[in-house]
Every structure is written in C-alpha cells, then in structure tokens.
Amino acid sequence: MAVDPFALFDTWFAEAKVGEPHDADAMALATAGRDGRPSARMVLLKGHGPDGFIFYTNDHSLKGEQLAENPRAALLFHWKSLRRQVRIEGAIDPVGEAQADAYFATRSRDSQLGAWASDQSHPLESRELFERRYEEMNQRFGGQPIPRPPHWSGYRLHPCRIEFWTDRPHRLHERRLFTRTDGGWEEGLLYP
C-alpha cells in the first residue's frame, strides 16, 4: 500500500480546516436499528486516529438507540469547497467513561446544561417546556461544575472501509478505496 489511509485523512482534514468555510469537522452519520431502517444526521468529529473516529451524543437519542441495536455505522465528510468526500464504514463501540467525562468538561456550560435538559429525539410539546427544563438545570447546578449526564457518551467508529473521493471534470471522479484486512489495509480504485 502506497498510502496510510489515516495519514491521508489527516492531510485532507487539515486542508479542510483551512479551505472549507463552515464546519470542516461536520460529518453525516448513518445508522440503522434492528429493523434495518436507515437514519442519517450531521454530527461533529471530536477525535480521530488509527483507533477510529469519535463523536458524542445522547444515548437515548434515535442514533444512540440504533447503535445499541446495531453497532455498525457509516460516516460521510463532504468538503464541497475542496470538491472532496471521505466515506467511512465500520463497527462502533462506546468510548470509556473517563474519555467521555474529559470531553464533556470541555463543552460550554450552556451545552452541558442542554445535555441535561434535552430528551434528544423524543417528542417535545413546546419550546417553552425545553427552555423551562434548561433553566431548572441551570438552577440545579448553580455555579458548580456540571457532571456528564449518565445518558450522554461518546462513540468510536473502527473503520473497515475508507473511501477518498475527488471531483474531476466530466464526472470522471477519482475514488480510492482502502479496505481493512487481517494484515492491515488494501488499497484499490473504484470506477466513478
């Protein structure tokens, strides 16, 4: 293999942080529950390396419930300004408690309070109810540090496939596919 897919991702991600005007760390996360019904949404990449790609969420959200039923997912980075995409597929597992606690501590206080106040993905009868719950959490924690809610954690996707897509004229795109094998990674090309 000529290129390490994680080194290539690092290069592309660094270029996206400079060249993509909005949220270079935004990625589409696709999950499916036991029933196989797919669901996709945007989340933020919060860590990456050879051990995987990390994001955080409410475990009681639709994505959290689907990941509990079917711990496999796909990610898609689309850096339109750079005319590039990266598609990643693999198995998911939760990050450790200490890692989730450490990341939660870096979030803004408002985001921390929101994690306590929100029943993410569940029906909400009114915006006022959510804002009231937020204020209740603000009063509950006062000026104290806010601990991570027990229903909020991180997940790591361990890739088995990583595809790097580059836009080319006349839809003659370049697609490089890295597939995990027992011995490491195999690299190949796909037709556009």
- Tell me which residues of the chain have a pLDDT lower than 50: 1
User: According to the model, what pLDDT value does residue 183 have?
Assistant: 83
From 132, 168, 171, 175, active-site residue: 171
| Distance in angstroms (rounded) separating the CA atoms of residues 75 and 91 | 11
Are 130 and 119 a contacting pair, CB within 8 Å? no
User: According to the model, what pLDDT value does residue 2 have?
Assistant: 63
| Distance in angstroms (rounded) separating the CA atoms of residues 77 and 157 | 14
CB atoms within 10 A of CB 148: 20
Whether 171 is catalytic is: yes
CA distances from 23 to 17, 71, 85, 118, 123 (A): 8, 26, 14, 23, 28
Fold of the domain built from segment(s) 5-107+150-190: Pnp Oxidase; Chain A (2.30.110)
Residue-range domain boundaries for the chain: 5-107+150-190
CB atoms within 10 A of CB 184: 9
User: According to the model, what pLDDT value does residue 107 have?
Assistant: 97
Helices (H), the chain: 5-19, 62-69, 97-106, 109-117, 127-141
| Distance in angstroms (rounded) separating the CA atoms of residues 153 and 77 | 22
Q: Which residues pair with 180 in a beta bridge?
A: 185
The H or E element spanning position 106 is helix 97-106
Are 5 and 178 a contacting pair, CB within 8 Å? yes
